[in-house]
Amino acid sequence: MGTVVDAANKGVNGSLPNEKKFKVVFVLGGPGSGKGTQCANIVEHFGFTHLSAGDLLRAEIKSGSENGTMIQNMIKEGKIVPSEVTVKLLQRAMQESDNDKFLIDGFPRNEENRAAFENVTGIVPEFVLFFDCSEEEMEKRLLSRNQGRDDDNIETIKKRFNVFVESSLPVIEYYGSKGKVQKIDACKPVEEVFAAVKAIFTQVHEKEVVG
């Protein structure tokens, strides 16, 4: 019987093909920092494809594939899905897309994810877009939004904050040490946040044109 990693490997051969060069931007921020809203704006204005690791895992489970069944079983058993499995799903989504520019949202969640992504795909992100928002503001937003989400209660919100700080901040610090973090003040109104985002993407695009 194959492992979940074996199943994930089916149809994906090693690292991404050399002839197709992908541009990847990691989008990180705590729960309620506004990542989803801003990713939609970036897609619309700058032509990126938005990939969410969580959405890809859910879609794989829903597909009923061998890989999806294994992922579902691991989640049911309270196990963490191996980083390599999530990376393979992201890799496949990139290979199957007609685009070569991707926003990867909410990933890497930790240092292990980060290392697996770079090792498996051979891709180093262009930069990390970090939505920096105070815990008070994120809490206020999550409690006020009416999306019927079971995880938007105060205890769960605090747990999610703690997980983000413990797991994701080391990733931001790692890329920060390489000069690859673009930090946005995400406490501001949506329009002001996007103005800052737009300035970063415009600047990066201009550098590429000049280069």
Binding-site residue set for a ribonucleoside 5'-phosphate: 58, 79-81, 106-109, 149, 160
Binding-site residue set for ATP: 32-37, 145, 188
Distance, CA of 123 to CA of 72 (rounded, Å) = 28
Distance, CA of 133 to CA of 112 (rounded, Å) = 24
The secondary element (H helix, E strand) that includes residue 182 is: strand 181-185
Residue 6 within a domain: no
**Above 80 in pLDDT, residue 206?**
no
Of 192, 205, 135, 127, nearest in space to 163 by CA: 135
Binding-site residue set for CMP: 113
Residue 112 within a domain: yes
Q: Which domain holds residue 106?
A: 29-205
- CA 39 to chain centroid, in Å, comes to 10
47: left (phi over 0), alpha (psi -120 to 50) or beta: left
Q: When comparing pLDDT for 87 and 139, which is higher?
A: 87
Q: What are the pLDDT digits (tens) for 73-116?
A: 998 888 888 999 999 999 999 999 999 999 999 899 899 999 99
Number of domain units in the chain: 1
User: What CATH number did the domain enclosing 70 receive?
Assistant: 3.40.50.300
Residue 21 within a domain: no
Residue 13 within a domain: no
Residue 168 within a domain: yes
Residue 128 within a domain: yes
Binding-site residue set: 32-37, 58, 79-81, 106-109, 113, 145, 149, 160, 188
Residue 11 within a domain: no
Q: What are the pLDDT digits (tens) for 146-159?
A: 555 555 577 777 88
Residues of the chain by 3-state class (helix, strand, coil), percent to 5:
55, 15, 30
